[in-house]
Amino acid sequence: MKAHEKYEMYMMQYAEGTLSEAEERELFAYLEQHPELLSELEEWKELRVSPDTTIHFPDKNMLLKNPGAQRIPWVRISLAAAVLLLGILVFPKLFVNNDNGVKTSIVSQTTIQSTEKVQTTEPQLAQTEQTPEKPVIMPFQPQRAPSKVISVKHTQPDPVVVVSEESIPEIAEDIRPLRLPNFTLLDETPVMAKLEEPILPPQPAGMVMEAMIGEEEYEQETESKGLLKLLPIKQKKLANMETIHASLNERVEQVKENWKNTSWSIVIAQRELFTINF
Amino acid sequence: MDTFGYNACVQEWADALFRFACKCTGNREEAQDIVQNCFAILWEKRNQVTIEKAKAFLFQLAYRKSVDHFRRIQKVRTGEAFPDQVVADTMPSTDLKRILNQALDLLDEKDRALVLLRDYEGYNYEEIAQITGLSASQVKVYLFRARKVLKEYLVSVKSVL
């Protein structure tokens, strides 16, 4: 590069403000020797192009996006919901603690049957390890359990409804079926269902078939009482039904109470996916 | 970058990008298309582009599209003089700003873009190098070459006046 070209470059950089101090000293030393170049330096300073600020993009709103139109991650939401639903449907016994006491358990979903086996053969071990603070770790816990559900109880248990153990079959406590108090029918006669009979079209006078129940008192009852009385169940049987209904309600309340303050952790391949707190 | 960040970029940089594209292409409609395309790409890649890098990303896109447009048009106009260039030669203006804007049309697409990025947006040599894909020393040399053309044009206009 010739000397003049070099100092032209320096002059441009000086006009742009990018010249270093050493280069600047060198430039002005050269300009002292060549004062005719000072006017050229002024010309370099004039070469800054400024934008025309009157030019605007015509339709800026066309470029803007609606913040509410962001994509909802439906795939992730549906996947999580599917996993949860699958867990509840396929392994409902893992989620519902049928023993009314405080039960902390770690159960492998792949070994439900072996859980039953161990609990039946070693009942003492299972009982001694049932504490609210510590989770029960089964001795047969498989080495490579791919997934597990952890249910942790945080509060004290509700009073346990004691039912005679004779009527309960020997199965694992975690999957013990619903217990109902024993009751007996007040009337030994079988329940008669009117709706089991075919409903025939109206027949001419004289050919009307008599109802299977046939008693006048039943017709009087249906006329005088509500819809419940339309059911072909004798009043005497209703007492038993109410007993069943009351016991079911009680059981549902117990299950609800057990679910309160309980957290479920879904763990697959030793990774906790999510925790549900009730 | 979320939607709000993207919208902030539109508000902040759409006009500057449009001016840059207008000056690079010399065509308002083409510049509008370029700006729309640039923001469409930014929206598609908003998860990979941070708001701090959005401006450089937009100008990089606009630079490439402007250069492509310029080359495409140049093929069509082979052997023809640009109308703007004719205007610049025959209608010298006393307004320095206008003269320089006319002189910009004498530059090729790359040199013009370098001058615009430097003067319009205030990018330094390294930033211009990132946008254009050149090295910083190349940017300095190309800028010097472009400024020299502008200076010669300015001197010639002044001598006529």
Same domain, A168 and A255: yes
Query: Per-residue b/e over A28-55, b at no fewer than 16 CB within 10 Å?
Result: eebbeeeeebeebbebbeebbbebeeee
pLDDT at B95: 76
Look at residue A189 and tell me whether its pLDDT is greater than 70. Answer: no
Which position has the higher pLDDT, B29 or A125? B29
Measured CA angle at B122 (ends B118, B127), to 5 deg: 75
- Is the predicted pLDDT of residue A13 greater than 60, yes or no? yes
A11 and A139 share one domain: no
Q: A138 and A265, same structural domain? A: yes
- Percent of all residues in chain B with a pLDDT value above 70, rounded to a whole number: 86
Q: Among residues B57, B80, B103, which one ends one of the domains?
A: B80
Which residues in chain B touch residue A67, judged by CB atoms under 8 angstroms apart? 2-4, 7
Answer yes or no: is pLDDT of A185 > 70: no
* Residue A33 within a domain: yes
What's residue B83's pLDDT? 45
For residues A174 and A119, membership in a common domain is answered with yes
Check whether A120 has a pLDDT greater than 80: no
Task: Determine which of A94-103, A215-224, A225-234, B6-15 has the lowest per-residue pLDDT on average.
Answer: A94-103
Do B54 and B109 reside in the same domain of the chain? no
Whole-number mean pLDDT of chain A?
65
Residue A218: the pLDDT is: 56
Looking at the fold, whether A19 and A142 belong to one and the same domain comes out as no
Two tokens at A161? 């409804």
**Contact residues of B toward A, CB < 8 A:** 2-4, 6-7, 10-11, 14-19, 22, 32, 35-36, 39, 43, 96-97, 100-101, 104, 115-116, 118-120, 124-125, 140, 143-144, 147-148, 150-151, 154-155
The pTM assigned to this predicted structure is 0.47
A142 and A85 share one domain = yes
- Flag whether pLDDT at A229 surpasses 70: no
Same domain, A128 and A260: yes
The residue-averaged pLDDT of B20-47 equals 88
Cβ contact (<8 Å) for A66 and B140?
no
Q: Same domain for B46 and B114?
A: no
A170 and A272 share one domain? yes
Could you tell me which residue, A29 or A50, shows the higher pLDDT? Answer: A29
* Residue B61, domain CATH: 1.10.1740
Asked if B101 lies within 8 A of A49 by C-beta distance, the reply is yes
Domain count, chain A: 2
pLDDT number for residue A276: 76
Return d(Cα A13, Cα A7) in angstroms, integer.
Answer: 10
**Are A23 and A91 contained in the same domain?**
no
Last residue of a domain, one of B54, B80, B106: B80
pLDDT, greater one: A130 or A249: A249
Give me the number of domains chain B comprises.
2
Subunit contact B15:A56, Cβ cutoff 8 A = yes
Q: Search chain B and give the residue with CA nearest A67.
A: B3
How do residues A72-83 score in pLDDT, each as one tens digit? Answer: 677 888 889 988
Percent residues over pLDDT 70 in chain A: 44
B59 and B109 share a domain? no
Q: Is B139 found in the same domain as B118?
A: yes
Residues B101 and B54 placed together within one structural domain of the fold:
no
Q: What is the CATH number of the domain that holds B141?
A: 1.10.10.10
pLDDT of residue A71: 61
Pair B134, B156 in one domain:
yes
Distance from CA of A83 to the nearest CA of B (A): 28
pLDDT mean over A44-49: 82
Q: Which residue has the tokens 């701090």?
A: B52
> Do A8 and A108 sit in the same domain of this protein?
no
Kindly report the average pLDDT of chain B as a whole number: 81
Same domain, B61 and B93: no
Q: Which residues of A touch B10 (CB under 8 A)?
A: 60, 63-64
What is the model's pLDDT at position A149? 53
Model ipTM over 0.90? no
CB contacts, 8 Å: B115 with chain A: 49
Assess whether pLDDT exceeds 70 at residue A103.
no
Count Cβ–Cβ pairs < 8 Å, chain A vs chain B.
81
Residue A100 has pLDDT above 60, yes or no: no
Examine the domain organization and report whether A143 and A273 are in the same domain.
yes
Extract the tokens encoding A125.
Answer: 């071990």
Q: Judge whether residue A274 has pLDDT over 50.
A: yes
The token duo for A6 is 């070099």
Record: contact A51-B104, CB cut-off 8 A: no
A9 contact partners, CB below 8 Å, separation of at least 6: A1, B140, B144
Task: With CB atoms and an 8 Å threshold, state whether B35 touches A63.
Answer: yes
Considering only A50-54, A182-186, A259-263, which range has the smallest mean pLDDT?
Answer: A182-186
Helix (H, G, I), strand (E, B), or coil: what is residue B140? helix
pLDDT in tens, B57-68: 899 899 888 888
In this predicted model, which residue has the larger pLDDT, A150 or A259?
A259
Domain that holds residue A124: 74-182+249-277
CA dist A103 → A62, A124, B103 (Å):
60, 15, 86
Domain with B149, as residue range(s), is 81-161
Are the CB atoms for B14 and B35 separated by under 8 Å? yes
Q: Are residues A146 and A262 in the same domain?
A: yes
| B56 and B105, same domain (yes or no) | no
- The DSSP annotation for A74-106 comes to HHHHHHHHHHHHHHHHH-HHHH---SSS---EE
Domain boundary among B80, B103, B131: B80
Query: Per this entry, what is the length of chain B?
Result: 161
Which pLDDT value is given to residue A31? 86
B37 and B67 housed in the same domain: yes
For residue range A193-202, list pLDDT tens digits in order: 445 555 555 5
- Whose tokens are 């004290």? That residue is A156
Q: State whether B67 and B86 are in the same domain.
A: no
pLDDT, position A131: 46
Name the pLDDT band for A4 (thresholds 50, 70, 90).
confident
Q: Mean pLDDT throughout B96-120?
A: 84
